[in-house]
Amino acid sequence: MTDKLTDAMKTVLAGATAICSALTIGAFATHASAETLSLEKDELKLGFIKLTDMAPLAIAYEKGFFEDEGLYVTLEPQANWKVLLDRVITGELDGAHMLAGQPLAATIGYGTKAHIVTPFSMDLNGNGITVSNAIWDMMKPNVPAGADGKPAHPIKADALKPVVDKFKAEGKPFNLGMVFPVSTHNYELRYWLASGGINPGYYSPADVSGQIMGDALLSVTPPPQMPATLEAGTILGYSVGEPWNQAAVFKGIGVPVVTDYEIWKNNPEKVFGLTEEFVEQNPNTTLALTKALIRAAQWLDENNNANRAEAVEILSRKEYVGADAKVIANSMTGTFEYEKGDKRDIPDFNVFFRHNATYPFYSDAIWYLTQMRRWGQIPEFKDDVWYAETAKSVYKPDVYLKAAKMLVEEGKAKDADFPWNSDGYKPATTDFIDGVSYDGKQPNAYIDSLKLGLKGQQKVEGSEIVGG
């Protein structure tokens, strides 16, 4: 990089072992003086959305893990998920913090068509569903109390169903916000609603609103705008990542009623996405990125979250999440506040490394594909082989394990921390709020076991479900 430095800078930095980071408006960068891989590209621009789960990127930058790999990285916040994805596809961004559903949807051609892959899962859990104070007051009589007199958790959507039914009977829409049509938040909100008998609506090739036949009407709201949109009454609740559920508590405008940890224990949340073309042209750079991100994830979880307070301070900076540190800390440090004053211990609300959080499991990808099929984003029946092949075309555990092996050999990671012998599938689990079993190797059997949603050869035509 020295050929790009001014003569004056060269003089100042002569003999230095590392080049200091330089701040620019809206972006910031770092450079390494040494490389452990022969990098095809060492100048990178990476995108993110202002959410706490972008933390691995911030930490890899701030702790010099990118620098250790010889990478000159610029991190740049993006306006919304669509802009972020489009800029990765065009090459304006080399990679980005992405919704788990984005690489899958792009690869199968839902929305934007592009082959996006991921060698790294960024975290587990981290989302919640919040309702307005008025809706909570209507729900609360339907929620059983625990021994301490406080609402018993997890709160199921059964408690919301009478409220939605009342709105429907009165001819009033029950509007809810989620962050993107292929977001984890959309699928988690839909799963929670459907588990309580509330139809969250279908998609069809002719109508991509996702509101066909819906009892609740879901629409897109960017994450930082959720609290203000709720306060304005445009929506009655939302599903979003932190710190935007806790922001509603701090502002006194809403109550988070359930976390995604309670909907699906240790569910995958964000991934690091790159185009397939980038990975093919820059295999060593991809490995270097993955190594740096693994180290960042380790740092975030090590010693029982001992570094989380420092992480909160970093994330609160305007160039990252830019929210009040107290709001971020409310969930990031192992607690979560529901009603004002009802703060509970949820040590795994944010997980970045433990439970094999960073390994890109095929079974995680397949779950998202089953939900796309369930609600009509995949309009036609697909056999089990299609799900497996699609997952393998997007998720790249081989790249992940190669990066992990290098870190172990360098003494920067422990051999026992990685699932070397995994076939890419987690065991079947019933860790869902409704207790339904999910086996990633049998996606169609799973889809058929769910009470609400498309099954078999069914599809949506007009405003009804047709086919067997």
The stretch 324-352 carries a mean pLDDT of 92
Confidence (pLDDT) at 132: 98
SS3 282: coil
The stretch 430-453 carries a mean pLDDT of 97
Q: Say yes or no to pLDDT of 22 above 90.
A: no
The stretch 181-209 carries a mean pLDDT of 97
Query: Could you tell me the CA-to-CA distances from 91 to 44, 111, 433 in Å, in that order?
Result: 10, 18, 40
Residue 75 pairs in a beta bridge with 28, 46
Whether omega before 397 lies within 30 degrees of 0, making that bond cis, reads no
Q: Which residue has the tokens 């039914």?
A: 165
* Nearest-angstrom CA–CA distance, 124 and 443: 21
* Nearest-angstrom CA–CA distance, 338 and 255: 6
CB-CB neighbours of 412 under 10 Å = 15
State which amino acid sits at residue 444.
N
% of the chain at pLDDT higher than 70: 92
pLDDT bracket for residue 357 (50, 70, 90): very high
| Under 8 Å between Cβ of 133 and 230 | no
Q: Say yes or no to pLDDT of 34 above 50.
A: no
The tens digit of pLDDT for each residue in 125-177 reads 999 999 999 999 999 999 999 999 999 999 999 999 999 999 999 999 999 99
* Nearest-angstrom CA–CA distance, 222 and 299: 29
Containing 444, the helix (H) or strand (E) segment is helix 443-449
Confidence (pLDDT) at 329: 92
Q: Say yes or no to pLDDT of 5 above 60.
A: no
